[in-house]
Amino acid sequence: MSICPVCNGLREVYVLCPDCGQPMLENGREMDFYDDYSPYMEIDLMKMEDGHPDTNSGHKCPHLFRCPSCFKEETIFIKE
């Protein structure tokens, strides 16, 4: 079993907005925004439901980043 270094507070990721160049803020796992109960479900189960083919087999955790300046949202895959 792999763990995400961002989810577990082992590492921070610095991402610049591709539109305006400002630092983007990490808003958590993308799958936590699916519905009211998704943050409480098993991570491996949610990876099978997230629609990204790389997340489960490629050991990558999709995180949502948002630019506070222009409000652009990006999904960044973090290697577990």
pLDDT at 39: 47
pLDDT at 58: 67
pLDDT at 46: 53
CB 30 within 8 A of CB 61: no
CB 47 within 8 A of CB 31: yes
Please give the helix or strand (H or E) that residue 57 lies within, else none.
Answer: helix 53-57
pLDDT at 23: 97
Q: What is the pLDDT along the chain (80 residues), one digit of tens a residue?
A: 678 899 888 999 999 999 999 999 999 888 776 665 544 455 555 555 555 555 445 688 889 999 999 999 999 999 98
Q: Would you tell me how many other CB atoms lie within 10 Å of the CB of residue 13? A: 12
Full-model pTM: 0.67
CA 4/CA 44 separation, integer angstroms: 12
pLDDT at 30: 80
Closest CA to 62 of 49, 70, 20, 41: 49
